[in-house]
Amino acid sequence: MLDYKKFEEPKMKANRNSNSNTLLAVSTSELGLPCRSKFNIINFPLDTLICIQGFVDPGDIISLRKTCKTIYAATHQRTVWLNALRNVCLTQGVFLPTFPVENMTQASLEHAALNPFRFSSYLQKEHPLTSPIKPFVTRVLQPHVPSTSPVAGLPHGTFEKVLLVPGGRFLFTLSSLGIIHLWDLGVTPSTIIKPYPLASMDGRGIDITSLHPTSDGLGIRLITLMTDENSPTIGIEYAVYEVYPTVPSPIFEKIKVLHVERCTVQAEGYAQDFIAFQTINNIVTVWNFMLDSLVSWRVNHDSTSIMLYSGNIILIGGQGYTLWKIPPLKPCSPGTSFELVADQTAVLLFMYPFHRSQAGVTLINYEWLPSSHSDGPAYFSLVGLDEESLSLACYIMKSIDNSHDEDLPNITPMLLSKLRLPSNGDFEVFYGSLYFCDQNLVLPWVVNRRVMVNISQRPTKRGQKVSNKTVLLYTGSSMNHNQYDLCPVSGRLCVAADQEEVRVVDFIMPISPP
């Protein structure tokens, strides 16, 4: 609920009486004003009321609506919900072009802004783990390609990977025969899925490893990796593509390529303009693909996961994880070998907060970053084995003032909370990404043909007692982490069912027609 005190000056006192129209009434004498009359929030100009609501969460705008007729009318202004939806997109990490706001009514804007609140509330209700929660509707996507498509005439194969763009409207699929499609699923579950993809590409031999927004926020970047196992040198190729799904004729445009010979990738991680990877000979490379510059150095342990944050890199592997400062990057040119930076050592070494870390630890973070966390994921989690159960350890990145000592790092991860996850002895789990949803963190995973999701309160301080709940979303055929994806902000799940079709499962009811 809204805390009205945030609108008061430190020494102001709110006067209350039986008339609801005196909400936040303050005596002018208490302010040192000559007039003895009282003013209150209902006498504020409409522009001021709209501005105040720009600092309020969508759920609290609904609470404000219930106070009096004047504020009720102010909360129905279209501008209020335009701002609210934009704030949701920025704080929850939603792809901005998801919503055609120019054509959306005030009611549609309101419904979209409240979707994260609705989905998190639905997940936190009492649901038995023996059966999946009921969706509102399930739609089916089957591959159809027009004759004008660049992949027309090529065999499609089965669906091997599905990737939902945050916001839930746009979907990328990768087939077993290398066909990449971009689909428009519609903003609401009442939308009929367009029969043909927006854009297609022949991606034989490549894998889509990550999605990011473009610099202007209007397009999508695909990071792809190709391993040339037929080459005598066995090299890899990272490529960066951009596509703008809302233009009249979207196309995949390759903007950057990095080819590395004689290497196999062991671990990788991504940030807005950066790709980091570690090869099996324990060489770590960080590549800024927009500036086409990179740096490489040798480390002393294997890694399973990598995370980039604010000029630093975290390597997950072994009996703990290490924090390294990224050395200065140098321009790279085709055909040149990577020059290793000598004498690099980890700044910090952290132990895992699990009793049986030797059983393996999984990094879970959020690569499509909210604009409010432009330096990287403010939150990340580690999953490991505690005794005979899986535990989820939630961390937050804390900044450090190292201006007086450059040997100190400028960040450090801080453990906030640790939760026990239901496992029932099933430890072969395929985890998804960590998502923001309202004031919560959402983690999906697949185990034994079931899509599970854990929703937990987003912790803000160390030792905070965090409430959490695990829910069964979907049961179906055998699948791995590539064959499902969840967008909590829209309450939408996509599953490659039997690999022949994609099922689009929506859990939030759309707005009722007028």
Say which DSSP state 132 is in. Answer: P
Classify residue 127 by its DSSP letter: -
Contact 308, 268 (CB under 8 A): no
Domain extent for 53: 4-123
Asked if the structure places residue 498 within a domain, the reply is: no
| Cα separations in angstroms, 228 against 154, 179, 202, 204, 263 | 21, 18, 16, 11, 10
Whether 459 maps to a domain, the answer reads no
**How many CB atoms neighbour CB 84 within 10 A?**
23
Residue-level pLDDT at 242: 97
Chain centre to alpha carbon of residue 140? 24
pLDDT of residue 287: 95
Q: What is the CATH number of the domain that holds 59?
A: 1.20.1280
Provide the strand spans (E) within 220-370.
220-228, 235-243, 253-260, 265-270, 274-279, 283-288, 293-298, 305-309, 312-317, 320-325, 330-331, 348-351, 362-364
Q: What is the pLDDT of residue 471?
A: 94
In a domain, 221, yes or no: no
Q: Residues 502, 141: contact at Cβ < 8 Å?
A: yes
Indicate the number of domains in the chain. Answer: 1
Length of the chain: 514
**Which tokens hold the place of 250?**
């979207």
Alpha helices in 28-166 (DSSP H): 46-53, 58-65, 69-74, 78-92, 106-123
Please choose, from the candidates 269, 266, 293, the residue with its C-alpha nearest in 3D space to the C-alpha of residue 280.
266
429, 432, 437, 442: CA torsion to nearest 10: 20
Amino acid, res. 468: N
Q: d(Cα 294, Cα 242) in Å, to the nearest integer? A: 21
> Please, which residues have CB within 8 angstroms of residue 99's CB and are 6 or more apart in sequence?
85, 89, 109, 112, 167, 169, 187
Cα–Cα dist 53/61, whole Å: 7
Q: Is residue 34 part of a domain?
A: yes
CA–CA separation, 427 and 330 (whole Å): 42
| Rounded (10°) angle between helices 78-92 and 46-53 | 20
Decide if 423 is inside a domain: no
Residue 343, in any domain of the structure? no
In sign, the C-alpha dihedral spanning 290, 216, 208, 113 is positive
pLDDT for position 33: 44
Torsion angles phi and psi, residue 41, rounded to 5: -65, -25
Rounded CA-CA distance 445/273 in Å is 27
Joined together, the tokens standing for residue 13 give: 């006192």
How far is the C-alpha of 29 from the C-alpha of 37, rounded, in Å? 8
The answer to whether residue 507 sits within a structural domain is no
Cβ 80 vs Cβ 53: under 8 Å: yes
- CB crowding 443-453: b at 16 or more within 10 Å, else e: bbbbbeebbbb
What distance in Å separates the CA atoms of residue 274 and residue 287, rounded to the nearest whole number? Answer: 6
| Sequence-distant (≥ 6) Cβ neighbours of residue 168 within 8 angstroms | 98, 185, 187, 487, 489, 490, 491, 492
pLDDT on residue 25: 41
What is the structure's pLDDT at 358?
A: 58
Task: List all residues 6 or more positions away from 459 whose beta carbon is below 8 Å from its beta carbon.
Answer: 394, 396, 416, 417, 466
Q: What is the DSSP string of 288-331?
A: ETTTTEEEEEE-SS--SEEEEETTEEEEEETTEEEEEEPPPPEE
Residue 365 lies in a domain: no
pLDDT tens-digit profile, the chain (514 residues): 444 333 333 333 333 333 433 334 444 444 444 454 455 777 788 888 888 888 889 989 999 898 888 888 889 999 999 999 999 998 888 999 999 999 999 999 999 999 999 999 999 998 888 899 999 999 999 888 887 888 888 888 888 999 999 999 999 999 988 999 999 999 999 988 888 999 999 998 899 999 999 988 899 999 999 987 666 666 889 999 999 999 999 999 999 999 888 788 999 999 889 999 999 889 999 999 999 999 999 998 889 999 998 889 999 987 789 999 999 999 987 655 677 887 789 999 999 988 876 557 888 888 776 555 554 457 889 988 887 778 889 999 888 888 888 888 899 999 998 888 876 656 567 888 888 898 899 999 888 888 999 999 888 888 788 888 999 999 987 677 788 999 999 999 999 877 788 999 999 999 876 6
Instruction: List, edge to edge, every strand of the sheet that includes 137-141.
Output: 137-141, 501-506, 492-497, 484-487
